[in-house]
Structure 1
Amino acid sequence: MLNPFSPYARIFTVPGSRAFSFAGWLARVPMSTVGLGSVLLVAGETGSYGLAGAVAGTLSLAFAVGSPQWARGMDRLGQGRVLVWASIAYLVLGLSFAAAVVFDAPRWSWFVLAALAGACGANVGAAVRARWSHALDDADDRQTAFAFESVVDEVVFVVGPPSITFLAALVAPPAGFVVGLLVGVSGAFWLARQEATQPPVAETAPGERRSRTSVLSPTLVVVATAYLAVGTVFGAMDVVVVGFAEVQGAPVLAGVALAAYAGGSLVSGLAYGVVRLPGTLVTRFVACAVFFGVAAQGLLLVGSLPWLVAAAFLAGLAIAPVLVAGMSLVESRVDRRALNEGLTWTSTGLTLGVTGGAALAGAAVDAWGAQDAFLVPALGAAAAGVLALVGAVVLRRPDRERVAA
């Protein structure tokens, strides 16, 4: 009997793949815990959610700025060396930030330390995808690997937030933030030690210099811009779902709805990794982006919690396909000497979108009410589809030939 998941079994026959994928799994825990953990920490110590949100936003924006720089270093020096130094700085500054909050240091120092800690966060998801790209020659196998990593992302977001919320509530406000930080740093150190599977560092010819913006090809700009809109949906959903559940008198069901949203992506991610879709990578990306835009329009009809859970699951089905399709397209065209950086810039668009989406959704909930605020994620999703359609004109013109490592 044919095993539908045989493509996943095949990619994990690559030597070292299980170790680097699982290490990357642990190293990605902070992406779902540090922001929420900082909110729980600051709010728990001060009682101010406004201050907590400002600090969390500082962390997120600093990560968006800093992570491409670490990725650039990985391309030039190797993942192992850069991950070690980034992780040490991340750990020291993250613990310093937590201590500053707990011991009531001047408020300005909270923002300074939050910014420095966030800027030291390396994008491990991109680093792991770069390892898969180096290890797998077949494009279909790379699609399967990228789909698996999107499932890992969803699992991290399903398991991480409730776990650290539990720790912060039952142990102490700093517990969730600190535990998430320690798990992530441990995974990063483990990944850094696995030098045999990291992409090789490309040699630069004498006299040759690569521009700091050379990696920002037309393809990457189009995908990252569309991902900015996708990230807006993610950030808005977190805020609007919580607000709607509170209005309905069942705040605990916000977690159920958000889990359904992530669960839809998990299901479609597993499927995307084994189904071989027709068309070019450009066609797949544009189609998946349009599907993402259409699927989220069901949120406009939400009027009860049961329908919210159903609509969230349906909208979630479109998440993994658009993320995998975009990452695969960028990976297929990016200069091999800038593989880590190119994949990281796509995630940077997502991060910036999440920050902006949360702010827009918060203002919309206050101004229009939680139910009408579902317009924010619906419009964000529609924008992602439109941006991909408009960008298709650019995407169909290949970038300059990619350079092999």
Structure 2
Amino acid sequence: MSARTLFSPYRRLFAVPGALPFSLAGWVGRLPAPMLGLGAVLLVEQETGSYGVAGAVSGSLALSYGVAGPQWARAMDRRGQSAVLPWAMAAFLLTGAGFVATVVAGGPRWSWFVLAAAAGASSPNIGSLVRARWSAVLDSAGRQTAYAFEAVADELVFVVGPPLVTLLATLIAPSVGFLTGVVLGGIGGLWLAFLRDTAPPAHPVGGSRVRWWAVLTPTLLVVVVTYLAVGTVFGGLDVVVVAFAESEGAPALSGAVLAVFAVGSLLAGLVYGLAPLPGTLAARFVGTAVAFGLAAQLLWGVGSLPVLVGCGFLAGLTIAPVLVSGTSLVESRVVPGVLTESLAWTISGLTLGVTVGSALAGAAVDAWGAEAAFAVPAGAAAAAALLAVVGARAVRPGPAVGGVDHLRVERPIGG
């Protein structure tokens, strides 16, 4: 089979008019995802000397991002992406710059948390907006490929972002790394806002109560809770890898080490989008979560940077599959008019987990040292596998055709 034939599903994706611009804009708009959390850790640790404080500030940014993301998504489902995004990006640029200025100027420490939270709350989840655009123009088979591609795009962000923010912070100043992420996010978000032709249609509704409860299906809740544990792994790694690299005398390599996890995930995502996979979407989700939980146990054996690189690559191979399978499962069960919000909740689960992981890992590094603190991401990965297995009954599908679940509109929680 030629490479041209092998990658033909991806070529068909970008034959869709306007697909390349909105996917590229979405990729640029997602660069803050790895840059701001790590950038906040580097900036605050430089000012305070404490990974505990740095992790807590970074966690507050991720927490507010996770809480606010679905609210932005709901507004865009109702009013349209192009109507809401410019306002969000303006607020994001102002609050991000304000956070850096306050930290560098030595402002009150409580204000660091407030402004970090404001910056997180001002940033819509760009990945869910791009996935909503794909869903509007593709059938179910095309959406699996598109979601796999977007998982690859997510991982490419994590390949580029951590080394970039680390180099800027190390070679110039920690504030430059964080600010670069803010500016790139603003550019990508505004670019996406002006691509009106490919935006999904708005779905105005008369009552917010119906929409709120319509989103909370059993499938969504299982995926979000599992992703909470997955996000804890990500947040823990951001802090522990930085601390471990510093303890090994190579702080500038921390971003490159984090990028290795993303490289493994990127390769796995490419394969996942091309392979004809057996089983239902629910079975794939549980299976990939278990694989993720098992692979991350390699972190218990980390004792040097070369070992961490090897473990990171192997563990990274399991990241994209669990993210793609969960997103696909939620999309297959969504009710009309709440797609963007439903997808935003899945990523909010991840970012809320990042909050927990950053705080726990920062405290663990201060208390136990960097090497022992790998217990935080390893334990969280095991919890993700357990949660998916426990929730398997709740996401059990109806009959499957060609390995893809029938679209099933679930009864909402409380409905």
Partner of 1:75: 77
Kindly report the root-mean-square deviation, in angstroms, between the aligned alpha carbons of the 2 structures. Answer: 2.4
Render the CA deviation track for 1:154-206: whole Å, top value 9, x for unaligned: 111121122223223333442222221111111111101111111111254x7
2:289 pairs with 1:280? no
Counting only pairs closer than 5 Å after superposition, residues 350-389 of structure 1 correspond to structure 2 as 350-389=350-389
**What letter corresponds to residue 121 of structure 1 in structure 2?**
S
CA contact (8 A) 1:334 1:402 kept: no
Name the SS for the 2:338 alignment partner.
helix
1:141 CA drift (Å): 1.4
Distance of 2:44 and 2:370 partners within structure 1: 25
CA contact (8 A) 2:162 2:258 kept: no
Distance 1:233 1:395, change over 3 A: same
Distance of 1:345 and 1:360 partners within structure 2: 22
Counting only pairs closer than 5 Å after superposition, residues 14-163 of structure 1 correspond to structure 2 as 14-45=16-47, 49-137=51-139, 139-163=140-164
Partner of 2:175: 174
Render the CA deviation track for 1:230-284: whole Å, top value 9, x for unaligned: 1111122233333444444544554443222111101101111111101111111
Distance 1:39 1:307, change over 3 A: closer
Distance of 1:366 and 1:99 partners within structure 2: 26
Distance 1:103 1:309, change over 3 A: closer
CA contact (8 A) 1:233 1:378 kept: yes
1:207 CA drift (Å): 7.5
CA contact (8 A) 2:52 2:359 kept: no
**What letter corresponds to residue 59 of structure 2 in structure 1?**
G
Runs of 4+ in 1 over 6 A off after TM superposition: none
CA contact (8 A) 1:242 1:251 kept: yes
1:316 CA drift (Å): 0.6
Name the SS for the 1:91 alignment partner.
helix
Distance 1:364 1:257, change over 3 A: same
Distance of 2:277 and 2:191 partners within structure 1: 35
CA contact (8 A) 1:140 1:276 kept: no
Distance of 1:127 and 1:188 partners within structure 2: 10
Distance 1:61 1:395, change over 3 A: same
Distance 1:115 1:260, change over 3 A: closer
**What letter corresponds to residue 350 of structure 1 in structure 2?**
L
Distance 1:106 1:256, change over 3 A: closer
1:107 CA drift (Å): 3.4
CA contact (8 A) 1:45 1:173 kept: no
Render the CA deviation track for 1:289-322: whole Å, top value 9, x for unaligned: 1111121222223344333222111111000000
CA contact (8 A) 1:83 1:188 kept: yes
Which range moved further: 70-79 or 26-35?
Answer: 26-35
Partner of 2:403: none
Partner of 1:395: 395
CA contact (8 A) 1:333 1:402 kept: no
- Percent identity at matched positions? 60
1:71 CA drift (Å): 0.6
CA contact (8 A) 1:90 1:117 kept: yes
Partner of 2:297: 297
Distance 1:229 1:304, change over 3 A: same
CA contact (8 A) 2:162 2:255 kept: no
1:213 CA drift (Å): 3.2
**What letter corresponds to residue 153 of structure 1 in structure 2?**
D
Distance of 1:252 and 1:165 partners within structure 2: 6
Render the CA deviation track for 1:78-131: whole Å, top value 9, x for unaligned: 111111111111112222222333344443333322222211110001110111
Distance of 2:242 and 2:317 partners within structure 1: 20
Distance 1:183 1:345, change over 3 A: same
Name the SS for the 2:225 alignment partner.
helix
Structure 1 unaligned spans of 5+: none
Distance 1:218 1:160, change over 3 A: same
Which range moved further: 187-196 or 89-98?
Answer: 89-98
CA contact (8 A) 2:166 2:254 kept: no
CA contact (8 A) 2:288 2:325 kept: yes
Which range moved further: 5-14 or 298-307?
Answer: 298-307
Distance 1:172 1:369, change over 3 A: closer
Name the SS for the 1:14 alignment partner.
coil
1:368 CA drift (Å): 4.1
1:229 CA drift (Å): 1.0
Distance of 1:142 and 1:280 partners within structure 2: 15
**What letter corresponds to residue 409 of structure 2 in structure 1?**
R
Distance of 1:276 and 1:261 partners within structure 2: 25
CA contact (8 A) 2:55 2:239 kept: no
CA contact (8 A) 1:131 1:197 kept: yes
CA contact (8 A) 1:336 1:402 kept: no
2:317 pairs with 1:308? no
Which range moved further: 365-374 or 312-321?
Answer: 365-374
